[in-house]
Every structure is written in structure tokens, then in C-alpha cells.
Amino acid sequence: MEYGLIGEKLGHSYSKLIHEKLADYSRSFGYTYDLHPLTREEFPHFMEQKDFKAINVTIPYKKDVIPYLDELDENAAAIGAVNTIVNKDGRLMGHNTDFSGFAYMMKQSSVNAFGKKVLVLGTGGASAAIAAVLKKQRAAQLLFVSRTGKGEAVTYEECVSLHSDAALIVNTTPVGMYPAVDASPLDLAPFTACEAVLDVIYNPGETRLTAQAKALGMKGITGLSMLVAQAKYAFEFFLEVSLPDDLIPRITEALGASL
């Protein structure tokens, strides 16, 4: 494999389709991108072999890959998770394009965290990159929400009773993702001060959470643009090219119409 995606379960991944569209738009002829599911047992051997030019990394290996890398860029080091690896003559360089992808998603949606109380639902790998963006935008208060409330997180019950004045809510959990599309991680009705809800889920194109947000007069944005944006930034690392950001909405629209 030259370029591709590793993860445990990749059956519903859109990454191959997006990278093929990026290759078409950029005229990168001969570029192939493969989905390469790995079990926990297969993962160490794959990383030790280094038999790839560049790869993307998804659940559950975004943190597990770090011990195999020779270097991390600034974003990946600060976040503590990697979703893009480039092999340069046997030296593995780790990047995190989820950071740039979420920043793009916020900018395109005209949402900013500056001076606001923000709730981040979930404490997994995606939440770390998203929290880094929110901190860079100087959110006034950033709270993580989890079912257990372990560590610095609050529980969902505490979230509703103590933090219903949040202005921005970001879902990084898989709750509401296909095929369990009728699920939602949170009832938004108590959050009367909320301006916008961003859900990193991209399948379905409208989650139950974002649909409720819109019904309550809030912005509701799902994650397809983030997915395309992070892929575009990864593609640039892969091939050492620079592509215009206006490719992102074009591919997002084309992808959305084909799904």
C-alpha cells in the first residue's frame, strides 16, 4: 500500500472516495488510496514494517501510533493524537489534520468560540483536536462531558443542571451515527442560551442532534465539511502539494449529492 487509511473498522469510511476526488481535482494521476482495516494483533506488525508512503489513521489507533513515530508536528504534539503519517526514507512524521479540519468547519459555519462557554461531548481522540481549536479561539470556558464524569469531565446530568447557559455545544461522540440514527447524546431543550451545535458525525448528513438544534432556532452543523477538509490537508502532506481551499466545498457538495 502506498497511501491509505488504517483503523479497526472501515466499512463506512468515505476517505477513499474523498481522496480519489482530490486526486482528480489536483490532476494527481496514478494516485491510489486504499482502506486497510487492522486488528489489534495486526497493528504492531504493520507499523513496524513501515510499508507505505503515507497513511491516515482513525479509531482506535490515533494515539497508539505515536510510539512508532520519529517526529510529531506542533499540532500533533499538543493534541497527543495523530491522524496523518508521512514516511520519509523510513522516518515517520506524525501530523493532526483534524485540528485544521475542525477550524475550517467553524470558519465556514461562521461560528467562533471567543469569550463563550463551550461544551464538548465526549473525551475520545477527536475531542482533543477540537479542544485545541477552541482553546486557540480563546473560549471563556471549556467543559468536557462524558457518561462517567471521570477526570476533568462532568456528567450529562451535571451538564444539564449546571451548564445550560453554554453558548456552543460540540458533539465528538459516535451517538447518532449511522445506523443508529435515532439516537442523540443530549436533549437541547434546556440550553436556551445556545447559539450553535456542531456535530462531527457526517453520516447521516443531518443528525437528530443538529435537527433539534435547528428546530430550536440554533445553528446545527454536521461534520462532512470537516471530513473533507482534514482529508485535503492530509493529501497536501502526502504529496507535498498545495491545493486551494475552495476545493473543500466543491467536494463536500459533490459527495453529499452522491450519498
**pLDDT value at residue 258:** 66
- DSSP string for residues in 55-108: EEE-TT-TTTTGGG-SEE-HHHHHHT--SEEEEETTEEEEE-HHHHHHHHHHHH
- Model confidence, pTM: 0.92
Which set of grid coordinates corresponds to residue 184? 442523540
* CA atoms of 39 and 23, how far apart (whole Å): 28
pLDDT (tens digit, 9 = 90+) per residue, 173-204? 989 998 899 999 999 999 999 999 999 999 89
**Exposed e or buried b for every residue in 171-205, given b needs 16+ CB within 10 A?**
bbbbbbbeeeeeebbbebeebeebbbbbbbbbbbe
- DSSP string for residues in 147-191: SS--TT-B-HHHHHHH-TT-SEEEE-S-TT-TT-TT--S---TT-
Binned at pLDDT 50, 70 and 90, residue 125 comes out as confident
Cβ atoms of 75 and 55 closer than 8 Å:
no
Catalytic residue numbers, as ranges: 62
Average pLDDT of the chain is 95
Element (H or E) spanning 235, and its range? helix 224-239
pLDDT (tens digit, 9 = 90+) per residue, 211-251? 999 999 999 999 999 999 999 999 999 999 999 999 999 99
